[in-house]
Amino acid sequence: MNKKGFAALAIILIVVVVLAVVGGIAWVHYYYLPSTSSATTTPNAATPSPETAAAMLAIQTVKSGTVAQYLDVVPTPHTLHPINATGFSKLLFNGIIISFPWTDANSTTSKSQTFIQARFSNGREFTLFDYGKDVSPQGFATQSSSIQTGYDLWSAALNATPDEITNSTPGDEAQFIAKLVILKSTIFVGFSSSYSFSTNVVRGFQFGEASTSKEADINFFDQNDNHYNLLISGTQDEIDYVLASIQPSHLE
């Protein structure tokens, strides 16, 4: 398992510990300490279960950090509109063929079994990482039949938002959503926007506005659920060209 895989497992373990600790605090707060807000509490407001209270407090802890402004952002579906390229460069890398709408890559600055990066003569550049099957959805799959793959887990996490948890949310559901939101806070950092896309070969997510920054951070999964991370500069239609070009290497 690579470093990112270990990091993902560590994140999940931290989530479980946080929820367990906060659960104990929530139980004491809601069942053994007098309320300090009785004057403003709605008479018929639902009292959350200890599990739901734990989830709500865990979410508040996450929202107190620097990622709070990103937790309500969910991916916007994006249809690829590739540029009509007059020339292109093709790369074969770890199970996929990927093309770029530029020629004359003047230097490959670094290359290994798990990543490659290059700069083109027009100033465009990219770095492509191969993480393999780096995230196991097993712990989440036991709570949701819709999470069976690494892509499913990313999708569920990125689409989860704190406001899904209310006082009346059942405890198990609230803790499941809290785990997703906490996971989201670790993978969606520093971007004010995200987009989802899919082709017949890959599906994934783009972070960042190419129209303003001329660069994007893209995570995509192939048909075998292998995870790739593409950091690339270019206009959106140039980036769309790259994503639309991806094919399995056996077609070469």
Spell out the domain ranges in the chain.
1-252
| Among the ranges given (165-179, 205-219, 234-248), the one the predictor scored with the smallest mean pLDDT | 205-219
Which whole number is the average pLDDT over 172-197? 89
The pLDDT assigned to 252 comes to 57
Burial class (CB within 10 angstroms; exposed 0-12, middle 13-18, buried 19+) of 41:
exposed
Dist CA 235 CA 210 (whole Å):
6
Token digits of residue 218: 């893209």
The two tokens of residue 251 are 């077609």
CA atoms within 13 A on the CB side of 19: 24
Instruction: Please say if the pLDDT value at position 17 is more than 90.
Output: no
pLDDT digits (tens, 9 = 90+) for 77-128: 999 999 998 889 999 999 999 999 998 776 666 788 899 998 888 889 999 9
CA pair distance 217, 66, nearest whole angstrom: 19
* Mean pLDDT, range 7-21, rounded to an integer: 48
Cβ atoms 71, 63 nearer than 8 A: yes
Q: Residue 105 CB: number of other CB atoms within 10 A?
A: 16
* Predicted confidence (pLDDT) at residue 204 exceeds the cutoff of 70: yes
Q: pLDDT (tens digit, 9 = 90+) per residue, 128-164?
A: 999 998 777 877 877 888 899 999 999 999 999 999 9
Specify the pLDDT at position 93.
92
Sheet holding 203-207, edge to edge: 76-77, 194-198, 203-207, 215-221, 227-233, 125-132, 115-120, 105-111
Identify whether the C-beta of residue 47 lies closer than 8 Å to the C-beta of residue 167: yes
Predicted pLDDT of residue 104: 79
Which residue reads 């290059």 in tokens? 118
H helix or E strand, kind and range, residue 1: none
Task: Choose between 44 and 195: higher pLDDT.
Answer: 195
**Terminal CA-to-CA distance of the chain, rounded, Å?**
28
Mean pLDDT of the chain: 82
Q: Which residue has the tokens 């803790």?
A: 175
3 state SS for 163-210: HHCCCCCCHHHHHHHHHHHHHHHHHCCCCCCEEEEECCCCEEEEECCH
Mean pLDDT within 217-227 = 95
**Among all chains, which residue has been given the structure tokens 């590739």?**
82
Helix (H) or strand (E) run with residue 21 in it: helix 3-31
Contact 167/45 with Cβ under 8 angstroms?
yes
